[in-house]
Structure 1
Amino acid sequence: MRPDIVTEAGLSTRVNQWWENIPFLTSAVVVVCGIIYLVCLLVGYDSFAEVCFLPSAVISRFQVYRIYTSILFHGSLLHVFFNMMALVPMGSELERIMGSVRLLYVTILLATSNAIFHVFIALLVAYNPIQPYENLMNECAIGFSGVLFSMIVIETSLSGAQSRSVFGLFNVPAKWYPFLLLVVFQLLMQNVSLLGHLCGILSGFAYTYGLFNFLIPRTSFYSSIESTSWLSSCVRRPKFIVCTGGNPSGYIPTHTSENSTSSGILPGNIWRNLSSFMPQREVSAQPNEDSRFPGRGRTLGAGQGQIASDLHSDSNLQARLLDNSSPNHPLDSPTLSTTQQLSGGRHSADNAATATAVVPPHQGAVASEEEIKKLVSMGFDRIQVEVALAAADGDLNVAVEILMSQQD
Structure 2
Amino acid sequence: GNMPLGTRLMLGINVGVFVVGGCVPPSWSLSYREAWKHLCISPRVIYHRPIQVYRIATSAFTHGGLIHIGFNMLNFVQTGPALERGMGTLRFVHMVVLLILVLGVLYLSLAAAALFFSEPRFFNECAVGFSGVLFALLSIEAYSAPPGTVMNVFGNQIPAKWYPWAQLLLCQLLIPNASILGHLVGILGGFLYQQGSLRMVMLSPSMARTLEDT
Q: Residues 219 and 163 of structure 1: is their aligned pair in 2 closer, same or farther, counting only changes over 3 Å?
A: closer
Counterpart residue number, 1:93: 82
Counterpart residue number, 1:214: 200
SS at the partner of 2:11?
Answer: helix
1:99-118 equivalence runs, <5 A: 99-118=88-107
State how far apart, in whole Å, the 2-side matches of 1:227 and 1:201 are. Answer: 33
State how far apart, in whole Å, the 2-side matches of 1:219 and 1:183 are. Answer: 34
Offset of residue 227 of structure 1: 4.1
Alignment root-mean-square deviation, CA: 1.5
Task: Write out per-residue CA displacement over residues 76-120 of structure 1, whole angstroms, 9 at most, x where no aligned residue.
Answer: 111111111111121101110111111111111111111111111
Whichever residue aligns with residue 67 of structure 2, its letter is L
1:164-175 equivalence runs, <5 A: 164-168=151-155, 170-175=156-161
Q: Aligned to 1:199, which of 165, 182, 185?
A: 185
State how far apart, in whole Å, the 2-side matches of 1:205 and 1:101 are. Answer: 20
Q: Aligned to 1:80, which of 60, 65, 69?
A: 69
1:261-272 equivalence runs, <5 A: none
> Is the helix fraction higher in 1 or 2?
2
Which protein has the larger Cα radius of gyration, Structure 1 or Structure 2? 1
Offset of residue 225 of structure 1: 3.2
Whichever residue aligns with residue 106 of structure 1, its letter is M
Matched-pair identity in %: 37
Does the 8 Å CA contact 2:135/2:187 hold for their aligned counterparts?
Answer: yes
State how far apart, in whole Å, the 2-side matches of 1:125 and 1:133 are. Answer: 5
1:38-57 equivalence runs, <5 A: 38-43=19-24, 44=26, 45=31, 46-47=33-34, 48-57=36-45
Counterpart residue number, 1:183: 169
Whichever residue aligns with residue 218 of structure 1, its letter is S
Offset of residue 202 of structure 1: 0.5
Task: Write out per-residue CA displacement over residues 238-266 of structure 1, whole angstroms, 9 at most, x where no aligned residue.
Answer: xxxxxxxxxxxxxxxxxxxxxxxxxxxxx
Check if 1:127 corresponds to 2:116: yes
Whichever residue aligns with residue 79 of structure 2, its letter is M
Q: Aligned to 1:152, which of 132, 138, 158?
A: 138
Q: Which structure 1 residue ranges, 4+ long, deviate > 4 Å from structure 2?
A: none
Check if 1:29 corresponds to 2:18: no
Offset of residue 55 of structure 1: 1.0
Check if 1:58 corresponds to 2:39: no
Task: Write out per-residue CA displacement over residues 202-253 of structure 1, whole angstroms, 9 at most, x where no aligned residue.
Answer: 011111112112222433432343345xxxxxxxxxxxxxxxxxxxxxxxxx
State how far apart, in whole Å, the 2-side matches of 1:179 and 1:118 are. Answer: 17
Offset of residue 126 of structure 1: 0.4
Offset of residue 174 of structure 1: 1.5
SS at the partner of 1:126?
Answer: helix
Does the 8 Å CA contact 2:91/2:203 hold for their aligned counterparts?
Answer: no
Offset of residue 67 of structure 1: 1.0
Count of aligned pairs: 205
Whichever residue aligns with residue 154 of structure 2, its letter is F
State how far apart, in whole Å, the 1-side matches of 2:38 and 2:74 are. Answer: 26
State how far apart, in whole Å, the 1-side matches of 2:132 and 2:47 are. Answer: 20
State how far apart, in whole Å, the 2-side matches of 1:71 and 1:40 are. Answer: 15
State how far apart, in whole Å, the 2-side matches of 1:134 and 1:51 are. Answer: 20
Offset of residue 157 of structure 1: 2.5
SS at the partner of 1:164?
Answer: strand
Identify the structure with bigger relative contact order (alpha carbons < 8 Å, sequence gap 6+): 2
Unaligned runs of at least 5 residues, structure 2: none
State how far apart, in whole Å, the 2-side matches of 1:162 and 1:224 are. Answer: 34
Does the 8 Å CA contact 2:44/2:124 hold for their aligned counterparts?
Answer: yes
Whichever residue aligns with residue 4 of structure 2, its letter is P
Whichever residue aligns with residue 56 of structure 2, its letter is I
